[in-house]
Amino acid sequence: MGELAIKVPDIGEGIAEVELVAWRVQPGDPVAEDQVLADVMTDKATVELPSPVAGKVLSLGGTVGQLIAVGAELIRLEVEGGGNVEVAGTQKAGPTLAPAPAPVRPPATSAVKPAPAQPGERPIASPAVRRRAWELGVDLRQIPASGTAGRIVQADLDAWQARHPGVQSAPQQPCASALRGVERHDEEAVPITGVRRRIAQRTQESARRIPHFTYVEEVDVGEVERLRAQLNERWDGERPHLTLLPLLVRALVLAVQRYPQVNGRFDDEAGVLTRHGAMHVGIATQTEAGLMVPVLRHAEARDPWSSAAEIARLAAAARAGHATRDELSGSTITITSLGALGGIASTPIINLPEVAIVGVNRIVLRPVVRDGAMLPRSMMNLSCSFDHRVIDGQCAAGFVQAVRAALESPALLFID
């Protein structure tokens, strides 16, 4: 028998380190060839790392949430034959793992039921999960976690509730002491790992390197909303359902024709702005794992129905954790929206190395003066941020006004 040290593979794209998201094995476990050992995360995707050989796990080379350099030891196995680690501890040249061509998805749970948090440990969960646990009256430390990095997800609460059918999810009524106010001295340390860590790193880098400026304009979307409703009624069951988003994408395509520098990427080290003929629109999508940006490719060649179908497919894949690395990279301009929570205005952060991002705020009915008369109109603000190093105020304003003109006169959306 020998020891085999397996290294973190070179995943490509210039990646120097990966984040360890989850272990699929533990010391002492038998391992079959091609069995997934661990999930690691790059800047763009989660990748499964399979074992090149059969053996038994001797030791793990890191903890969940740790950054590990490409080429560093990831795991050590006991294998038949000599292995690649000498008895004296000198390591011979050995294999690195080949990343499996698996799509991005949350790490699968093992057949062994996950254990609840140990006494003294603080469970990891989102605010929504904590709120529901409070409504159920259950201590999160009693709940086995199946999410990435030991995170408790809604499915874990569903499983707990299924095992306790007598418990109903009903908000607790505040007691008299709570109404008077009770001092709290508890605190919770929440590790920032996985997708959340990548978001933190990328937004920090974008804010540090890019001099942002935001331009906010209100848009009367009454006409485009009426047209959208008419088109959905006309093509009901025959074509994909239209939301405002694919029509906005079409408006962006038309505006970029007049302001091509907005659809670009800036290499600040080389001092080069690349203006792309192809328009690959990133659609910021909130998922259980965090914010992801699947990419609608070649929006310039699509009609609104084609865009609607592809946007729906990409969003579903991202939320299910099935989006591939190719589907999450390569955008040239990004749209971000909080939907009904979109607020009045926002200051979105540019998706580096792009030079512009379009923020969509919620639609509200408010009084607007038209020809001296006060009329109720459906109004929506666009909050767009630009890289001031390569986009000046006049260009930004012209671009946003072109988008506004297309949405307020939606017949323009169907004219090249």
Which positions are annotated as active-site residues?
Answer: 388, 392
Find out whether 55 and 31 touch, Cβ atoms under 8 Å: yes
Beta bridge partners of 286: 291
Find out whether 385 and 347 touch, Cβ atoms under 8 Å: yes
Find out whether 20 and 8 touch, Cβ atoms under 8 Å: no
CA angle at 147 for the pair 144 and 153, rounded to the nearest 5°: 75
How many CB atoms within 10 Å of residue 322? 14
Question: What are the start-end ranges of the E strands in 42-176?
Answer: 46-50, 55-60, 67-69, 73-79, 124-125, 151-152
Distances 348 to 55, 195, 200 between C-alpha atoms, Å: 49, 18, 14
Find out whether 310 and 302 touch, Cβ atoms under 8 Å: yes
CA dist., res. 106 & res. 120, Å (int): 27
| Structure-token pair, residue 262 | 């907005």
Find out whether 30 and 77 touch, Cβ atoms under 8 Å: no
Which residue is listed with tokens 């999160």? 140
CA dist., res. 222 & res. 408, Å (int): 8
